[in-house]
Chain A
Amino acid sequence: MSSIFRQFYFFLIALFLALPLIVVAGVSINQKQTLAFPPEGFSVSWYGEIFLNPEWRNALLASITLAVLSAALAVAIALPLAWFLWRRVAPWANIFQLLGVAPFTLPPVITALGMLTFWATAGFYGQPWTAVVSHAIFFVTLPLVTLSLGFTSIDRSLVEAAATMGADDRKIFRTVVLPLILPYIVSGYAFAFVLSLNEYIVAYMTVGFTMETLPIKIFNALRYGYTPTMASVTILFVLTAAIIFGLVARFGDLPKLLGAMASEGK
């Protein structure tokens, strides 16, 4: 394919991906509270609104708390599991690997509805912590996949050397394994964090009536009309995701991580 044709094709794809975000960015700096593009006047007050308006600020705090905690819990579930599968020969334990990948493969509505019926039956429906557990289970796939990849990339002779010198499992884990897989822990956490921040349906079905996360808040605002704060929050989210993935790419091997992730999804 000729170079000009290729560049044009890539330009069109880039335009397709960026256009909605460009329009939303334009709308977010409108001076008045109208949905207009090109923007009329210039103002960053709608970005201030996210932090100054108590409703938006609470939603932002709820979203960040949820993402921080659920991503941590997801890593806490994935790490021992991935370690065990790497360390031991136990074919039946692969069933848990499968269970860890399942919520992410199935349509999200299914996990959401399962959680809703479960929490309602258990009598905890609407409690904020149920959303943390639900998100951790929903996104456990991501750290699980990155960590499995991390473990397979460890040179076993390093571990063997440590064992020969008399280190036990615990000591080997702390001094050899952990430093080697730390980048994979961080990227697994980062993926789970960003996706939890953006997740709507599971959060809505578990705590939607008692708590508002940012995506829930945007959806509710969308139903009752338009406010430019929705646009500024959207841009804030896009930037957050881009920065976090940019950092993962800067300090890790993004093409390799994604290569493993997609083949695992099958």
Chain B
Amino acid sequence: MRREPAQTLGDYTPLLFPAAMLTIFFVVPFGTMIAVSFFQRQQGGFYTPAFVYDNYARFLSAFFGGVLGFSLMLAIAVAVCCVVLALPFTYLLTRMARSVQVLWLVALLSVLSLSEVIIGFAWSTLFSRTAGITNILVALGLMGEAQALTPSFGAVLTGMVYQAFPYTVLVLFPALVRLDPTLTEAARTLGASPLKAFFTVVVPALRNTIVATLIMVFIFALGSYLLPQLLGRPQHWTLSVLITDQAIYQSNMPFAAAMAVFLVLVTLGLVALTVIAGRKGEAA
């Protein structure tokens, strides 16, 4: 049966439930949040309907600028680390036997689905003084005394790379599966080493995919809301952490909502960039 236009109004009935659910429970909450971002905050955690720009005006403070700058820097660092680690890995993975691929994909999905709470707990354990990685180094005689590696910037970065690495592999996977294997074969026949073939043939052929992946991992990392809190110091807090903190602990919903709206705009801008990068990829 070919796709055909709806004949009667009754043909639209299947759309009713999904459309209603998505509108009431996604569009309306989104609108509510935007409305609240213009509301006036009252002492004691309440807010009253109003139309003020105060919540947005607070963005102009040095503190907010610092948090925003740090968030962006951290997300860029995570995206670069992940793509550098994941690109050769995914490339080699797609050239392995199917059963090995499936095994790795199951493992990656299992790590990807882990709660940030669990990832944070696992890494804080691994970086702790009593049960951490330094104990192994002490046992091997490489270190004199066990020490705590968290809270620190390195711990935050490691935790976030751990969280985003499986995601990066899964984003790269389809593009690398589709990559024409004759490309590298040709390079090899002409005498290039495997490493040289990878950097001179595979990487340039995937330039747009790499850019799109960097942006997607960047957005993913921007959403991390617990790891900076669990593995870092307050100066390592990101915009996502700050939003949670304002909404829950400071009870300043209007300001939290204003920051969330700002984060949406940043994200949407980046998604648009990804789409443009993807289009260029198709044209090439």
A19 within 8 A of B: yes
Number of interface residues, chain A, beta carbon within 8 A: 100
- Which B residues are closer than 8 A to A by beta carbons? 1-6, 11-12, 14-15, 17-19, 21-23, 25-30, 32-33, 36, 85, 88-89, 92, 98, 101-102, 105-111, 113-123, 125-126, 128, 130-133, 135, 162, 165-166, 170-174, 177, 194-195, 198, 212, 216, 219, 222-223, 225-226, 230, 240, 243-244, 247-248, 253, 256-257, 260, 263-264, 267, 271, 274-275, 278
Residues of A close to B32: CB separation below 8 A: 114, 117-118, 121
A61 within 8 A of B: no
Residues of B close to A113: CB separation below 8 A: 33, 243, 247, 256-257, 260
Taking a contact as CB atoms under 8 Å apart, the answer to whether A77 and B4 are in contact is no
Taking a contact as CB atoms under 8 Å apart, the answer to whether B106 and A103 are in contact is no
Taking a contact as CB atoms under 8 Å apart, the answer to whether B26 and A198 are in contact is no
A241 within 8 A of B: yes
Number of A-B contacts (CB under 8 A): 274
Known: A83-B14, A234-B118. A17 touches B3 (CB 8 A): no
Residues of B close to A258: CB separation below 8 A: 105, 109, 170, 173-174
Cα A81 to Cα B17 with chains together (Å): 8
A89 within 8 A of B: yes
Residue of B with least CB distance to A103 = B26
Taking a contact as CB atoms under 8 Å apart, the answer to whether B1 and A200 are in contact is no
Mind listing 22 A-B residue pairs with CB under 8 Å? A9-B89, A23-B125, A23-B132, A24-B125, A77-B17, A77-B18, A80-B15, A86-B3, A88-B11, A107-B225, A107-B240, A113-B33, A117-B32, A117-B33, A136-B21, A200-B117, A215-B115, A241-B110, A245-B113, A249-B102, A254-B106, A266-B278
Taking a contact as CB atoms under 8 Å apart, the answer to whether A116 and B17 are in contact is no
Taking a contact as CB atoms under 8 Å apart, the answer to whether A198 and B115 are in contact is yes
**Within residues 91 to 122 of chain A, which ones have a CB less than 8 A from any CB in chain B?**
93, 96, 99-100, 102-103, 105-118, 120-121
> Can you list, as one digit per residue, whether each of A127-138 has a CB less than 8 Å from chain B (1) or not (0)?
000000110110
Cα A261 to Cα B216 with chains together (Å): 14
Cα A230 to Cα B191 with chains together (Å): 54
A211 within 8 A of B: no
Cα A20 to Cα B264 with chains together (Å): 32
Cα A190 to Cα B284 with chains together (Å): 37
Residues of A close to B118: CB separation below 8 A: 198, 215, 218, 234, 237-238
Taking a contact as CB atoms under 8 Å apart, the answer to whether B22 and A137 are in contact is yes
A199 within 8 A of B: yes
Taking a contact as CB atoms under 8 Å apart, the answer to whether A106 and B18 are in contact is no
A174 within 8 A of B: no
Residue of B with least CB distance to A237 = B118
CB of B200, distance to nearest CB on chain A (Å)? 14
